[in-house]
Amino acid sequence: MTERKRIIVGVAGGIAAYKAATVVRQLTEAGHSVRVVPTESALRFIGAATFEALSGNPVRAGVFEDVHEVPHVRIGQSADLVVVAPATADLLARAVAGRADDLLTATLLTARCPVLFAPAMHTEMWLHPATVDNVATLRRRGSIVMEPASGRLTGADTGAGRLPEAEEISTLAHLLLDRGDALPYDLAGVKVLVTAGGTREPIDPVRFIGNRSSGKQGFAMARVMAQRGAEVTLIAGNTAGLIDPAGVDVVHVGSAAQLRDAVSKHAPDVNVLVMAAAVADFRPAHLATNKIKKGPDAAGDPTIELVRNDDVLAGAVRARTDGQLPNMKAIVGFAAETGDANGDVLFHARAKLKRKGCDLLVVNAVGDNRAFEVDHNDGWLLSADGTEAAMEHGSKTLIASRIVDAIAAFLRTSDG
């Protein structure tokens, strides 16, 4: 059962304020005590009654209500996490200046817990030097400022500055609670390529060979690395139902060959490759142009001849060794393993690490509702230098953050 935490959801005055209702609902349904602290302008977009109904707590915007409880001090002092969604350009500026002219900004000054800002504003405002400086200042002070999504804004405008989806905000909020500390912004300037999801190898226009990978772990890797400052490109295979992570360039592919080609295209420009995708080992040797029939006129049972797909991970390692990837500093592989008569999961994982030649290998034991198609994970992190670390059971986002911790440490070591 999730430990009940005290979460403050601050809501600033922007059109995206209505999306905060979903954030409040998701955090409340997760079992936390949620209190909403809006600005006066936020209440012009969505009423206090909505937030009170969703959170079960009173909603106040000013410092002169319930004065005997000293709310401008007590709310921030008692919080385990503060989430501001949306965080407008004005709210970010006031937070940087240390203003305390309403209950939300006063709460931000008294909070000693992690603070998460989810920005929402027009692209011109997000890219303005004043906002850029304000975001940098907040991050330097230890606050987490999410990368906004790109897409439709107010009116006909589109671009960067869209509020991330509620699920992304609540997912990052839960990560901060699980970690128990702030998420470091330590990957600025690092270019990362992540693969995720399973590939599908077509048999005919209807059928394919696939696997059970949902892409959740790879998406979590991309999401965490982007929020730690990396410039991330995500190559996504079959990831039905997943939300493209905010601040990430996503390339959608289908087959192993398409994924291989996408990796080959993007790998020369990146510093880190994370191969979290479940790439099919085999594909049909021949693609039927028409649907294979099973009716009474079909000529017996069909036979599908398989051929081996290229090993994308091993190919990237070879390319780096041959000098074709001069910018590549770290290559991270993933292995879904089971034990057999020859050895246990770690036995096979160690052999795979040696065979593949990558720098780090994330190992997951699969089967019995483990690793595939679930929201939680565990496993081991193996390094080419022989070190091994167990990763305790947790959300895939928490597992991703632990892996990214190891990648960041590896990069620091390699940089000397």
**Does residue 335 carry a pLDDT above 60?**
yes
Amino acid at position 391, single letter = M
Decide which of 146, 178, 210 is a domain's last residue: 178
Whether residues 160 and 198 fall in one domain? no
At residue 5, the 3 state secondary structure works out as coil
Decide which of 178, 205, 238 is a domain's last residue: 178
Range of the domain at 58: 6-178
Whether residues 223 and 113 fall in one domain? no
pLDDT (0 to 100) of residue 347: 87
Distance between the two ends of the chain, CA-based, in angstroms?
A: 43
pLDDT tens string 287-329: 999 988 877 666 677 889 999 999 999 999 999 999 999 999 9
Q: Which helix (H) or strand (E) holds 274?
A: strand 272-275
pLDDT (0 to 100) of residue 77: 87
Say which CATH number the domain at 259 has: 3.40.50.10300
Domain count, the chain: 2
Contact 190, 226 (CB under 8 A): no
293 is in an annotated binding site: no
The distance from CA 332 to its chain's CA centroid, rounded to whole angstroms, is 17
Whether residues 362 and 222 fall in one domain? yes
In a domain, 37, yes or no: yes
pLDDT tens string 262-284: 999 999 999 999 999 999 999 99
Confidence band of 416 (pLDDT split at 50, 70, 90): low
pLDDT tens string 222-252: 999 999 999 999 999 998 889 999 999 999 9
Active site residues: 211
Decide which of 178, 213, 229 is a domain's last residue: 178
In a domain, 409, yes or no: yes
Whether residues 171 and 217 fall in one domain? no
Q: For residues 116 and 6, what is the distance between their CA atoms, to the nearest angstrom?
A: 14
Whether residues 135 and 202 fall in one domain? no
Amino acid at position 200, single letter = R
281 is in an annotated binding site: yes
Query: What percentage of the chain exceeds 70 in pLDDT?
Result: 94
* Ramachandran sector of residue 358 (left: φ over 0; alpha: ψ -120 to 50; beta: rest): beta
Whether residues 164 and 205 fall in one domain? no
265 is in an annotated binding site: no
Name which of 66-75, 175-184, 239-248, 333-342 the model is least confident about: 66-75
219 is in an annotated binding site: no
**Does residue 71 carry a pLDDT above 60?**
no
Say which CATH number the domain at 155 has: 3.40.50.1950
pLDDT tens string 34-70: 999 999 999 999 999 999 999 999 998 866 565 545 4
Q: Which residue has the tokens 């081991």?
A: 380
Whether residues 222 and 84 fall in one domain? no
HSE-up of 363 (CA within 13 Å, CB side)? 24
Whether residues 257 and 113 fall in one domain? no
In a domain, 184, yes or no: no
**Does residue 399 carry a pLDDT above 90?**
yes
pLDDT tens string 13-41: 999 999 999 999 999 999 999 999 999 99
* Residue among 346, 208, 225 nearest 274 (CA): 225
**Does residue 348 carry a pLDDT above 70?**
yes
Give the mean model confidence (pLDDT) for residues 198-207. Answer: 94
Q: Where are the alpha helices (DSSP H) in 39-87?
A: 48-55, 71-77
Cis peptide before 205 (omega within 30 of 0): no
pLDDT (0 to 100) of residue 253: 96
Q: Average per-residue pLDDT in the chain?
A: 90
pLDDT (0 to 100) of residue 1: 46
Whether residues 250 and 351 fall in one domain? yes
**Does residue 99 carry a pLDDT above 90?**
yes
410 is in an annotated binding site: no
pLDDT (0 to 100) of residue 138: 97
The DSSP-derived string for 279-290 is --SEEESS--SS
